[in-house]
Amino acid sequence: MADKLGRREFLRGAVTVGAAALIGGCGPRGGRGARISGAAGPRVPEHVMGAKPMLVIAAGRKIEDRVRAAVSELGGMGRFVKRGDTVVIKPNAAWQRSPAQAATTHPEVVSALIKMCKEQGATRVLVVEHMIDMPPRLIWDITGLGAAARGAGGEAVSAHDQRGYVKVNIPHGKVLTSDEVIRDIVEADVFINAPIPKVHNASVITASMKNMMGVVWNRQYWHQVGLQQSIADFSTGVRPDLIILDANRILLTNGPKGPGRTKDVLQVVAGFDPVAVDAYAATLLGFQPSEVPHVELAYKAGVGQMDLSKVQMKHVKA
Amino acid sequence: MSKPRAATVRRISQGLFLAAFLSLFTLTVWPIGLAAPVDIFLRTDPLTVLTALLAAKVWVLSLALLALPVIVLTLLAGRAYCGWVCPLGTTIDLSDRLFFAATKSRPITERRRWKYYILAAVAVSALFGAQLGYFVDPIVVLTRTLTLAVFGPLSALAQALAGIGWVQDAYTYLQNHVDFFARQALLPPQQAVFRLGWVALATFVGILALGALEKRFWCRNLCPLGALLGVISRVPLLRRRVSDNCTACLRCVRQCSTGAINAEDPTTHRMVECIQCYKCAAVCPEQAVRFVPQLSLAGREAQLDLSRRRLLAFGALGLGWAAMAHTVPAARPTVIGNPSASPQLIRPPGSVPEPELLDRCVRCQQCVKACPTNGLQPALAEAGLDGLWTPVLVPRIGSCSEKCNLCGQVCPTGAIEPIRVEDKPAIFIGQAIIDRSSCIVWAADQSCFVCDEVCPYDAIIQKMAEGKKRPIVNEHTCTGCGECEKNCPVQPLAAIRVFSLGDRRHWGRQRQRVWRYGKQRADGS
């Protein structure tokens, strides 16, 4: 009898502990970066407000050199990453495509970023993606991004379970007023968006703002309520701390998945302003920024500057 | 003292084979890095081989050869496979020990004949071109149970635990630092889902629950593989011999796993029912029992002792099943020559043409387990009665991944032939059709083109219609992979759906290449 009671007690204890762990683990842990907008207006970090937004366009012999040159001109990785931080990088890793096909972010861009974060003492660097092609293991392999992440001391995370997402309000959204966002991003200390510029059959181009479609759970909904407005809406709500545009090789036709015609631009662009970055990406792909509806919509919503003449563009060479 | 050791060695053997079976099952995941023969248990299962060969009426030497080791083992040592190797037998032993310890081992009853009758029905049905063995083949039953009723729930559990922050961190760590977990074999990033899991579970639980009646009830009375092995080797070379020291204490009778020992005269036993477990040798206080090679064929005739009338009746049952299976609507092809069973009958690439697929497929669910997108599912009614549990692609669950050819690699019977990934653009498993009444580009003037975005074969054409670009499907490049249906934002039914209309298996590979690339390029490459 005592034995049975003991077992029951044990079970009760185990259930309590388990439930506590579940509840405790559910809420967002809350990182340092306040990149989720509040009611006051689209959140524009202090270093962007007031100043002329800056884009650094880096050339150089190697991809890693370009990434380093671009970030250092922007103030260096130490400006963003502090010792002990958790950093999340969102590349474009949606497709079963090799780096040469320019449908996904180049692995060297990602490994360079991870190394730089690690040099600043980041504890964890996660490379996250909610993929479109499946299965994740295959995509991490073919894009080279899994090996790049692991090789540089980061971790690849396939965000394919809804439980890994938290609801985020988008108070200034017109059609998108809330969305479920990968928890790692919401909780991270630093969030870096690392897209690749491509033409896009539905959104004209894809660069930084469109890349954010891979951090939400239900991206199908964006299509239902209007893709261009949704992209702009989301950019009013969730803002990366740093954007690194992988313009080493860009996709000019049959985007976003390709295979299509590619062009070697051999640049890495760094900036804070998603609209300015995407406006610049549009020009690389042969469009006027005003020809890309979500760029214009985000500009009108106050997310950033689409007029490149009002952007401070710094060209550097590694 | 060598006798007790034989029983211990047998247990170790059972444990090792079960562990091997479970490991290989777990490793059935993309990519098969070890080049592990993940389907080796199925390939070496003589019943699987026999029914597949009989049903398909083809002689596949490689198939037959793989069953040879088990057949040789059986000729030498009788049903040692049942006692030493069979993972289901081991599972039943474990279950009997854990849950039915009170069940006494009784001498075998007349029920033992059932399994031979079942075998008769299975064999006759296969002879007339319809699979029946998949209901009862122990290796198939276990593989199916593991896939549908164990792997699914385990993956759900893993995902539920991932809701705890530190558990998720641990998963991430493991998947990035330990190669085994990087394969995502045990912790898939997305919860695996399967149809008909409960049917598989109920069958399995039922088989174990029979242990309440008799020890190894399944093996004694129902298992057609055990029956087949018995038929192969009515008087094995290695068999039990009892010396004159026997005092008829009947301890061996009470211990015998299958009740094969004659209670009236414990020096004799029914050889076809002995699974060579050596318990009798271990418990004999006089050490009168030994297993030694014996050449005599005496008693051969009396071993099976079946009723001819029953055999005929069950044979007729098998014939009836085959007849029914061939007269369901699925059996009649459409005018374009592909199976008419259901518009949703999308077979994995490399599948042999439909009638042969039904004959060859043993419904083991290895391909379903292997499919990395989870899109491959056991068929319900898509393929008719005869096609129950055969693999179909359900694109809304998962598409056929462009760079994957795993299902053909793990199929033990060649129902899905191995294909090269490079050949996939010219293997047509279906065709996407756009429902213009629900497509948000056609019906609501939205800009969407997710189908075009995700199509690996560039089969969506943006056509100007009513002043706007709208999607249409190029039937020469659409292979039916289902990527578009999977990702279509229209809910719950996608506005672009894959139908078996584009299933061109019956054309053969060359004609499909011509359809895809044109005559010149098809011949060139």
For the stretch B207-260, pLDDT in tens is 999 999 999 999 999 999 999 999 998 889 999 999 999 999 999 998 898 999
Q: What is the pLDDT of residues B20-73, one digit of tens each?
A: 999 999 888 877 655 668 888 998 999 998 988 888 777 777 778 889 999 999
Q: How many CB atoms lie within 10 A of CB A288?
A: 12
Question: Which of the residue ranges A224-233, B130-139, B154-163 would you say has the lowest mean pLDDT?
Answer: B154-163
Question: Which of the residue ranges A152-156, A227-231, A239-243, B186-190 would you say has the lowest mean pLDDT?
Answer: B186-190
Residue A22: what pLDDT?
44
Residue B482 burial (10 A CB sphere; 0-12, 13-18, 19+): buried
For residue A309, pLDDT beyond 60? yes
Residue B176: what pLDDT?
85
Neighbouring residues of B375: CB distance < 8 A, sequence distance ≥ 6: B393, B394, B395, B397, B398, B399, B400, B482, B486
What tokens appear for B135 in the block? 């209901």
Radius of gyration of chain A (CA): 20
* Opening angle at CA B309, ends B306 and B312, nearest 5: 100
For residue A43, pLDDT beyond 70? no
Mean pLDDT computed over B449-466: 93
Q: What is the pLDDT of residues A58-73, one digit of tens each?
A: 999 999 999 999 999 9
Asked if the Cβ–Cβ distance from B446 to A228 is below 8 Å, we say: no
Mean pLDDT computed over B170-183: 81
Q: What is the pLDDT of residues B399-437, one digit of tens each?
A: 999 999 999 999 988 899 999 999 999 999 999 999 999
Residue B339: what pLDDT?
63
User: Cβ contacts (< 8 Å) between A24 and chain B: which residues?
Assistant: 164-165
Q: What is the pLDDT of residues A235-258, one digit of tens each?
A: 999 999 999 999 999 999 998 998
Nearest-angstrom CA–CA distance, A240 and A212: 9
Helix ranges, B178-241 (H):
179-182, 197-209, 217, 224-232
Question: Chain A: residue nearest B494 by CA?
Answer: A220
Q: Which residue has the tokens 């129950």?
A: B388
For residue B473, pLDDT beyond 80? yes
Question: Which of the residue ranges A113-122, B42-51, B112-121 would you say has the lowest mean pLDDT?
Answer: B42-51
User: Cβ contacts (< 8 Å) between A158 and chain B: which residues?
Assistant: 184, 189-190
For residue A42, pLDDT beyond 50? no
Model ipTM value: 0.82
What tokens appear for B233 in the block? 């080797």
Q: Which of A165, A215, A218 is nearest to A193 (CA)?
A: A215
Nearest-angstrom CA–CA distance, A198 and A246: 10
Residue A177: what pLDDT?
95
Which candidate in A23, A137, A231, A292 is best for mutational testing of the B interface (most B CBs within 10 A)? A137
Q: Which of B235, B203, B6 is nearest to B88 (CA)?
A: B203
Asked if the Cβ–Cβ distance from B176 to A155 is below 8 Å, we say: yes
Task: Kindly report the pTM of this predicted structure.
Answer: 0.87
What tokens appear for B191 in the block? 């919860």
Q: What percent of chain B has pLDDT over 70?
A: 95
What's the pLDDT band for B524 if we cut at 50, 70, 90? low
Burial A50-62 (b: 16+ CB within 10 A, else e): eeebbbbbbbbee
For residue A46, pLDDT beyond 70? no
Bridge-based pairing state of the strands B468-473 and B391-393: unpaired
Asked if the Cβ–Cβ distance from B162 to A163 is below 8 Å, we say: yes
Q: What is the pLDDT of residues B189-220, one digit of tens each?
A: 788 899 888 989 999 999 999 999 999 999 99
Can you give chain A as a three-state secondary structure string?
CHHHHHHHHHHHHHHHHHHHHHHHHHCCCCCCCCCECCCCCCCCCCCCCCCCCEEEEEECCCHHHHHHHHHHHCCCHHHCCCCCCEEEEEECCCCCCCHHHCCCCCHHHHHHHHHHHHHCCCCEEEEEECCCCCCHHHHHHHHCHHHHHHHCCCEEEECCCHHHEEEEECCCCCCCCEEEEEHHHHHCCEEEEECCCEEECCCEEECHHHHHHHHECCCHHHHHHCHHHHHHHHHHHECCCEEEEEEEEEECCCCCCCCCCEEEEEEEEEECCHHHHHHHHHHHCCCCHHHCHHHHHHHHCCCCCCCHHHCEEEEEEC
Q: What is the pLDDT of residues A171-228, one digit of tens each?
A: 999 999 999 999 999 999 999 999 999 999 999 999 999 999 999 999 999 999 999 9
Tell me the average pLDDT of chain A. 87
User: Cβ contacts (< 8 Å) between A136 and chain B: which residues?
Assistant: 184, 189-190
Q: What is the pLDDT of residues A279-300, one digit of tens each?
A: 999 999 999 999 999 999 999 9
For residue B454, pLDDT beyond 90? yes
What tokens appear for A33 in the block? 């970066």
Higher pLDDT, A295 or B384: A295
For residue A29, pLDDT beyond 80? no
The 3-state DSSP class for residue B10 equals helix
Interfacial residues of A (vs B; Cβ cutoff 8 Å): 21-22, 24-26, 29, 96, 126, 132-138, 142, 146, 149-150, 154-161, 163-164, 200-203, 219-224, 226-228, 254, 256-257
Residue B35: what pLDDT?
61
Question: Which of the residue ranges A305-314, B291-300, B367-376, B460-469 would you say has the lowest mean pLDDT?
Answer: B291-300
